[in-house]
Amino acid sequence: MALNDAGCFVEGPIGSLPEALRVAAAEDFDAAVVDINLGDEFAWPAARVLKARGIPFIFATGYAASLEAPADLSDAPRVEKPFDPKRLLSALSSA
């Protein structure tokens, strides 16, 4: 995976909102990649936890750009799937 190759430690994948909330609240990260869709729920609450903790994050999504984040999260960078590994790393470094 591109993140591992770049020297990043990867926690996950995380496939449910309850797990994402637990990890976002309890773990220490330099930055996070948050998939907007976690099973049948959106990851907005987990992103809010990261934001409140001051942990930079980007959204990753397979949804069209027409899916808008809530206003309080709309400034987060976003990468569309499938994404180029270099683009992912670039977005993460600018988060």
Cis-peptide into 13, omega within 30 deg: yes
The pLDDT assigned to 5 comes to 78
Q: Give this prediction's pTM.
A: 0.86
Please identify which residue in the block is written with the tokens 């099973």.
39
- DSSP structural state of residue 29: -
Which residue ranges of the chain lie beneath pLDDT 50? none
The pLDDT assigned to 23 comes to 95
What CATH code is carried by the domain that includes residue 33? 3.40.50.2300
Domain count, the chain: 1
CB atoms < 10 A from the CB of 31, how many? Answer: 16
Range of the domain at 88: 2-94
Please identify which residue in the block is written with the tokens 């959106």.
42
